[in-house]
Amino acid sequence: MEQAPPDPERRLQPAPLEPLGHPDAGVESVVGEEAEGARDEGPGDGTMTENNFWLKKIEISVSEAEKRTGRNAMNMQETYTAYLIETRSVEHIDGQSVLTDSLWRRYSEFELLRNYLLVYYPHIVVPPLPEKRAEFVWHKLSADNMDPDFVERRRIGLENFLLRVASHPILCRDKIFYLFLTQEGNWKETVNETGFQLKADSRLKALNATFRVKNPDKRFTELKHYSDELQSVISHLLRVRARVADRLYGVYKVHGNYGRVFSEWSAIEKEMGDGLQSAGHHMDVYASSIDDILEDEEHYADQLKEYLFYAEALRAVCRKHELMQYDLEMAAQDLASKKQQCEELATGTVRTFSLKGMTTKLFGQETPEQREARIKVLEEQINEGEQQLKSKNQEGREFVKNAWADIERFKEQKNHDLKEALISYAVMQISMCKKGIQVWTNAKECFSKM
């Protein structure tokens, strides 16, 4: 089991599903290094300094976004945005960082990386990507993917994604992830070569398993319900928040009209004129203050959105469990029926209906030699089946253990991050109130001097 920091000599195969035990196990050896704070540009990054040795060695940032044009798979011209990923390694004890890698990636490559991680780490709650298209927008924000504000927020979201992966005790060691950060050319081919798409469970199979599984671990069933609820409540919250933002914008902006009219009116007033004019100015200040306020709120909304998308990641883990459990149940069922067949053949009783039984009746009994042969085959199959069942069982148990460990880690992360987000929301509201008090106090003074 690897303990050293990113090892270029690592095998080119994707990391196998190794029984990893406690997530922190591999990290202890590197605790000696000085902990380097992560670049705090994405939301919810406060926790990332713990439990990760990537960040103790490197800093990752998505520092720029650039519009590009190129040809797509169908040789048609398209415009897309490319993001610059910079990796800095912290070489010296004094914390100086050196730029080690810098390359450009587009959103679809991030998606590819994530899909790969989903296949190879089904027991991990894989961090989500920021949304592909702008949703839950209030009217002032553009839903256009090329809009600079959207691109900026996406840049932050992508950086956050990378930091989350890099701070995950298991995901951070993945070779493909390492290459994503370091190998610009040919990376896509490398990923595809792993053949991960083939390894992916078909949606249909998964759906089937969900319906038919008899004895899933109750915790996963509960987790599934939780993730459904989480998704539903956060979407609802984001929708209403967007509407509230819209209305708040309206209230503030209409006040701006006072400014103009007061100013025009002040022209005909002798005593009231000055008061009107200066009050009008404050109304303008009030009206324009909403833009910054709502921009800050967008960041809050993005923090919530991340956990909205995390709900899907949770569900993916549950689905995998159901699939494995179903597989196990089917294998056990199959084994049981083979055993029964064997028994019947051995004792000569036909208790169950079988094709063999029918043909025997119709075409005459088989010879003892034939029967022996069949029993032998069955016994072999049974042996194999028992082996398989044993290993499936063990796999299943390992999966549950590991998955649950990651889920516990996730839960703590979620509670911490969301609590911080809610607190930051309160801080934003406080700041908005203070600004309001100041503006209106100034305005009141002007009015009272009229």
Report the distance separating Cα 2 and Cα 25, nearest Å: 11
Shortest distance in whole angstroms from residue 374 CB to another protein: 55
Q: Does 53 bind another protein (CB under 8 A)?
A: no
Interface segment toward another protein; rule CB under 8 A; list 93-101, 107-115, 259-267, 329-337: 259-267
12 binds another protein (CB under 8 A): no
Sign, CA torsion 161/166/169/171: positive
Question: Other CB atoms closer than 10 Å to residue 336's CB: what's the count?
Answer: 13
Q: Is 237 in the site for another protein (CB under 8 A)?
A: yes
Piece in contact with another protein (CB under 8 A), picked from 80-88, 203-211, 332-340, 427-435? 427-435
> Quick one: which of 67, 132, 199, 243 contacts another protein (CB under 8 A)?
243
The one among 104, 107, 265, 300 contacting another protein by CB under 8 A: 265
Give CA–CA dist 360/370, Å, rounded.
12
Torsional sign, CA 96, 98, 102, 108: negative
Among 82, 151, 272, 350, binds another protein (CB under 8 A): 272
C-alpha distance across the termini of the chain, in Å: 79
Q: Residue 92: count other Cβ atoms within 10 Å of its Cβ.
A: 9
58 - beta bridge partners?
A: 89
Residue 230 near another protein by CB under 8 A = yes
The owner of tokens 């993001």 is 83
Question: Helix, strand, coil shares of the chain as percentages rounded to 5?
Answer: 65, 10, 25
Residue 255 or 409 with smaller CB distance to another protein: 255
Residue recorded with tokens 């949703």: 135
Please give the DSSP secondary-structure letter assigned to residue 348.
Answer: T
Q: Which is nearer to another protein, 153 or 241 (CB)?
A: 241
29 is a contact residue toward another protein (CB under 8 A): no
Q: How far, in Å, CA of 30 to CA of 4, rounded?
A: 8
Q: Which CB sits closer to another protein, 358 or 437? A: 437
Q: Is residue 403 a contact point for another protein (CB under 8 A)?
A: no
- # residues contacting another protein (CB under 8 A): 51
Please report, as a single letter, which amino acid is at residue 20: L
Q: Which is nearer to another protein, 247 or 390 (CB)?
A: 247
Q: For tokens 């169908």, name the residue.
A: 74
Q: Applying CB under 8 A, which part among 82-90, 98-106, 167-175, 252-260 lies near another protein?
A: 252-260
Amino acid code (one letter) for 218: K
Among 78, 264, 291, 292, binds another protein (CB under 8 A): 264
Contact window for another protein (CB under 8 A) among 73-81, 163-171, 293-301, 417-425 = 417-425
> Of 162, 132, 110, 445, nearest to 276 (Cα)?
445
Q: Pull the structure tokens for residue 223.
A: 């987790």
| Joined tokens for residue 266 | 């002040």
Q: Does 441 bind another protein (CB under 8 A)?
A: yes
Out of 268, 347, 349, 367, the residue judged to bind another protein by CB under 8 A: 268
Those residues with Cβ within 8 angstroms of residue 422's Cβ, 6 or more apart along the chain or in another chain: none
Rank residues 27 and 213 by Cβ distance to another protein and give the closer one.
Answer: 27
Residues lying near another protein in the complex (CB under 8 A) are found at 50, 226, 229-230, 233-234, 236-237, 240-241, 243-244, 246-248, 250-251, 254-255, 257-258, 261, 264-265, 267-268, 271-272, 275, 279, 415, 418-419, 422-423, 425-427, 429-430, 433-434, 436-437, 440-441, 443-444, 447-448, 450
